[in-house]
């Protein structure tokens, strides 16, 4: 099972290297962040459930229909089996159907990554953030200088997966790229497969090395150390634990990175949003601040599209004026991003309103496959943004535009007081 770490001088996977700044990257960002959301917005108003003519393809953009699809996991399955198999990721929780295997994996993860650990996670985030901000001048790259080291500190000090300094960037990039691959569309090209294999090759060796080290000398302060020290191997075998670590890292590091950048984009672009967040941070009102940050994320959500597959002949739209028949095997393109901007269910959907009902914010999903790491993600948001907002961030005049790599904000330079 174990794989040796590669030496630092080996050429490593680089997400930015594969997506360098320039016209091609600008076009990719335009498509992902403007054209697709714009198209979903049009469909949401005209046809919330749209059957593409001549194709076994249905686009779901309306609030009610999106919630219906995500709550009917036996009718609409996740279609990611081929993708996780390609990167040798057996047992990835978010790619499993509602079966005994899913519930065993879910129970194992929740027992090892338990809610009582939130205080420990918050302490790691606070200390790491404080050290970074204390050592910086007025200019800071939110993603590379702050978010990346914070999430890696959680992976190392809480999960128990040390990431050698020479491998930190490839490990970070590999997680983002492999996560993006898993949740991409149903077709897999040869180029996509090659990139995914190169990306995940930066991740598995680090996890395997951590498991080898923890097996020999477990550190009870970490999840992986507790796993070995407390003898969980019989109830939750090592292959399951390996997959659980990959699940929690891959389901935490990329979304936390993406969300942090998008939230800051909203705050920088809306005076009222920034004022609300700064006031909450300076008053140490963590719950109020979190509401504001999640509202910003609703306005600029991290994932434009997700995918489902009809397990049998069925329909969508129960209770609506139009019932849409869907054949077995049909692919569904489902947009949580669009649903959270649906004026039929969300009052003034494009307005920043931190006091609106949390029921319209599906930023962690809806029902089945709801984010298992919500508490950790919330801790990152509050304990990274609070000290940052106390220093009244604004765009750095030296680097006034965000640089994107695919769908990820990559360089977002701030000027701090």
| Nearest-angstrom CA–CA distance, 395 and 368 | 38
Determine the pLDDT at residue 10: 57
Determine the pLDDT at residue 115: 82
Determine the pLDDT at residue 26: 87
pTM for this model (two decimals):
0.94
| Predicted confidence (pLDDT) at residue 1 exceeds the cutoff of 70 | no
What tokens does 334 get?
């489902």
What are the DSSP calls for 264-298, one per residue? Answer: HHHHHH-HHHHHHHHHHHHTT-HHHHHHHHHHHHH
| Nearest-angstrom CA–CA distance, 83 and 89 | 9
Mean pLDDT of 350-377: 94
| Nearest-angstrom CA–CA distance, 92 and 78 | 12
Using the Cα atoms of residue 72, residue 407, residue 171 and residue 185 in order, give the sign of their dihedral.
positive
Beta bridge partners of 326: 314
| Predicted confidence (pLDDT) at residue 94 exceeds the cutoff of 70 | yes
Assign 304 to helix, strand or coil: coil
- Quick check: 306 and 337 in contact, CB under 8 A? no
DSSP state of 305: -
Extended beta strands in 320-416, E state = 324-326, 331-334, 394-395, 403-405, 408-411, 413-415
Mean pLDDT of 365-371: 93
| Predicted confidence (pLDDT) at residue 125 exceeds the cutoff of 90 | yes
* Domains of the chain from N-terminus onward: 15-415 (1.10.630.10)
Question: Mind listing the pLDDT tens digit for each residue in 277-310?
Answer: 999 999 999 999 999 999 999 999 998 899 999 9
Beta bridge partners of 325: 315
- Quick check: 31 and 189 in contact, CB under 8 A? no
């Amino acid at each position: 099972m174990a794989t040796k770490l590669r030496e630092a001088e080996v050429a490593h996977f680089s997400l930015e290297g594969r997506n360098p700044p320039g016209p091609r990257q600008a076009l990719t960002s335009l498509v992902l962040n403007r054209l697709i959301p714009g198209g979903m917005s049009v469909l949401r108003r005209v046809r919330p459930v749209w059957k593409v003519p001549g194709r076994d393809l249905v686009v779901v953009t309306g609030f009610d229909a999106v919630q219906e699809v995500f709550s009917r996991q036996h009718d609409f399955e996740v279609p990611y089996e081929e993708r996780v198999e390609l990167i040798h990721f057996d047992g990835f929780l978010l790619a499993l159907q509602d079966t005994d295997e899913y519930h065993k994996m879910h129970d194992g993860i929740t027992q090892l990554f338990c809610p009582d650990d939130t205080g420990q996670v918050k302490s790691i985030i606070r200390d790491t953030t404080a050290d970074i901000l204390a050592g910086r001048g007025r200019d800071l790259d939110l993603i590379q200088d702050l978010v990346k080291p914070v999430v890696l500190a959680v992976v190392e000090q809480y999960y128990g997966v040390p990431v050698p300094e020479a491998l930190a960037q490839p490990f970070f990039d590999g997680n983002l790229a492999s996560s993006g691959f898993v949740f991409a569309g149903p077709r897999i090209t040869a180029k996509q497969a090659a990139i995914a294999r190169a990306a995940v090759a930066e991740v598995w060796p680090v996890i395997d090395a951590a498991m080898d080290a923890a097996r020999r000398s477990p550190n009870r302060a970490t999840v992986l150390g507790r796993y070995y020290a407390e003898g969980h191997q019989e109830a939750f075998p090592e292959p399951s634990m390996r997959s659980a670590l990959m699940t929690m890292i891959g389901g935490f590091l990329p979304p936390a990175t993406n969300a942090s950048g998008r939230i800051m984009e909203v705050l920088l672009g809306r005076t009222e949003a920034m004022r609300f967040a700064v006031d909450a941070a300076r008053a140490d009102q963590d719950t109020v601040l979190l509401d504001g940050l999640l509202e910003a994320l609703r306005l600029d959500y991290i994932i434009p599209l997700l995918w489902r597959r009809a397990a049998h002949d069925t329909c969508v739209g129960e209770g609506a004026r139009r019932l849409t028949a869907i054949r077995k095997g049909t692919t569904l393109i489902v947009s949580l991003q669009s649903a959270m901007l649906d004026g039929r269910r969300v009052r003034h959907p494009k307005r920043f309103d931190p006091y609106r009902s949390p029921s319209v914010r599906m930023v962690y999903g809806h029902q089945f496959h709801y984010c298992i790491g919500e508490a950790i993600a919330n801790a990152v948001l509050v304990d990274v943004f609070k000290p940052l907002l106390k220093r009244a961030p604004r765009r750095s005049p030296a680097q006034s535009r965000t640089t994107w790599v695919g769908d990820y904000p990559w360089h977002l330079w701030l000027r701090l007081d």
